[in-house]
Amino acid sequence: MTANTNRYSNYTSTSVGSGSDSKDGDKSEKKDLWTSMLSSVASGRRLPEKNILLLGGTVDSQREFFETLSNSDLRRALDRNASRLPPVANSFALGYTYYDVLDADQEDTLARISLYTLTSPSPAFASLLTPLLTPQSIPNTLIVVLLDWSQPWKWMRQLREWILLLRTVLISQSHECKETMEEVMVAWRDRGRGGGTNLDGTTAIPAADGEMDLPVGPGEWEDALGLPLCVVCQNAEQMEYLEKTQSWKEEEFDVVLQFMRTVLLRHGASLIYTTPSVPSQLPTLIHSSLGIHSLLKKQPLKHNVIDRDKVVIPPNWDSWGKIRVLRDGFDVDLVSNGWSVDLGQPFPRPHPDGAAPEDGQVNGDDDAHAEEADDPQGSTVTLYEDSVQDPTMDALQLAGRNTHSTKLEVETKDTQTFLTQQLKVLDAFKQKNEEASREESRHKPHHKKADEEHLVGGPGDTERAEAKVLEHIGPVQFNMGGIQVDADDMVQRLKERQAYGSSPEPGSPTAEDVMESSPHMDTENLQAFFHGLMNRRGASTN
């Protein structure tokens, strides 16, 4: 109603005068009316624009982070035209993509988030981040650093490189941008402390009259960056692999968490562990950090320090006391002060040979040169790497050489040099074998004569040898017509019968008479037959 009255009064006041002036005034007034109406409608439909600087990780891990935030699976199920989803361009240098944040009913759009991705903390890329930070975009920007549980022993070094890069970018901003960053940090520091609103969008409980807001604890907000920071540790399922294959225990996981919480507390940052294809509070944490809240359903952000693979540390929740409770013996003060020493180092880190890094170096080269440079005394990175060591590094190698060296562990010899040395070894073996052959041939006749003397023996030796052979062979038996016959017993009976025939009783026929009367009984041939049978059986048994 007020708007209509104002419009009518303006119209009537300008209608007084000449006819031509009234017509021109009428047209201009109608034009201004429609312009104001269209601009008001356009501003009402304009989406809030938010920015995320996604740092670290790989091309695939950044895509995974993007899909988790944008609920790509749900969008594909609701949207028949899946091609409408924006592509992800993060293969080279500074990448970009965007997505719209939908309300709980998946109908209304709450905001549009632009993601700027960077995988390498190279100083050459600092100039790409500077234009993204303006007085208008700084209050709507969040920094996210990706880490991976496949290599937790590198976290402190990687985090230090990213923060040093960010500090060089933020320090080079204009005076107006720095004032805006200070205001943003003050607002973040007051969240949940009796002023402003909480992270989940609820109104904070105001302090009573005469009372002060909750003070900042030790180690909190001492190194504020100027922009809110969130660290996402991906692939938390690797914790089980470390436990089974690398003998990690709860103590190692707690030490990693204590170091991360102590360091991030100085920046007022948040921390979360995520697992692929497992629901988490990551969308809630990121969207609430950007001030995006659902109009239909409130999603409170809850901390979690019990489930080791689902850790969530919201901003302004942690403290030194809570970190000490996790495990006794952890020196929070030493780690916190050591992080200040790390951030005081120049960026980029100097090379051991004094050479400056080349522009556009890949991440692997930067990490290698950074590890070659000696860390300062009292560095948190050194303390962390001493406590959380790479399990692939052997303890003897750690004790015998520089742990940050990138030189080859084994230096190979030239092929011709190696073959020449092996030829000398083979010649030595050949000469040794020839000497052994000559020595053997010199003593061979003497040994042969001794063996012949040993083989040729008397009758007693022959009988003893036969007795030993028979004892070793045992009784010789064979089957004759279905009857098991003992050859020794048969020979013995033949001998007895022959002896009995050689000494006949008076009046009994002699052996000659028996032989003459029984020409078919040949005792000697029969005995020879059984002897041959025994010898044949003995040979087959041996």
Distances (CA, A) of 454 to 44, 449, 450, 460: 121, 9, 6, 14
| pLDDT given for residue 47 in this prediction | 80
C-alpha closest to that of 346 among 322, 307, 375: 375
pLDDT at residue 232 greater than cutoff 90: yes
pLDDT at residue 81 greater than cutoff 50: no
Other Cβ atoms less than 10 A from the Cβ of 415: the count is 8
Taking only the tens place, the pLDDT of each residue in 341-397 is 999 988 876 654 444 454 444 444 444 444 545 788 889 999 999 999 887 765 545
Rounded mean pLDDT of 469-483? 66
Report how far residue 302's alpha carbon sits from residue 202's, in angstroms, rounded to the nearest whole number.
13
Beta bridge partners of 272: 232, 312
Rounded mean pLDDT of 148-156? 95
Rounded mean pLDDT of 480-488? 72
pLDDT at residue 268 greater than cutoff 80: yes
Say which residue the tokens 């204590």 belong to: 258
C-alpha closest to that of 163 among 241, 255, 225: 225
Percent of the chain with pLDDT strictly greater than 90:
37
Of 33-37, 157-161, 429-433, 451-455, the one with minimum mean pLDDT is 451-455
Distances (CA, A) of 383 to 330, 375, 379, 386, 388: 11, 10, 6, 5, 9
Beta bridge partners of 127: none
More confident residue, 227 or 518: 227
| pLDDT given for residue 285 in this prediction | 94
Average pLDDT, the chain: 76
Rounded mean pLDDT of 101-113? 84
pLDDT at residue 230 greater than cutoff 70: yes
Q: Please state the domain extents for the chain.
A: 45-202+217-400, 415-455, 476-541
Looking at domain 45-202+217-400, does it have CATH number 1.10.357.10? Answer: no
pLDDT at residue 19 greater than cutoff 50: no
Say which residue the tokens 């990213």 belong to: 162
